[in-house]
Amino acid sequence: MPSHAYLSPKDKQSAKVTQLGQLENLKTRNQNLSLISAVTTAALVVAFSSGVSATPPTVITLTQTPCQFLEPEHGTDHEFKSTRKADCEAINAKSGADRLTKS
CA pair distance 84, 66, nearest whole angstrom = 9
Question: Which pLDDT belongs to residue 103?
Answer: 82
CB atoms within 10 A of CB 68: 22
Question: Chain centroid to CA 44: how far?
Answer: 16
Q: Where are the domains of the chain?
A: 8-49, 64-102
User: Residue 4, SS3?
Assistant: helix
Q: What is the pLDDT of residues 10-37, one digit of tens each?
A: 777 777 767 777 777 777 777 777 778 8
User: Residue 1, SS3?
Assistant: coil
pTM: 0.41
CA pair distance 88, 52, nearest whole angstrom = 44
CA pair distance 69, 66, nearest whole angstrom = 8
- Whether the predicted pLDDT of 96 surpasses 60: yes
Please give the average per-residue pLDDT across 67-85, as a whole number: 91
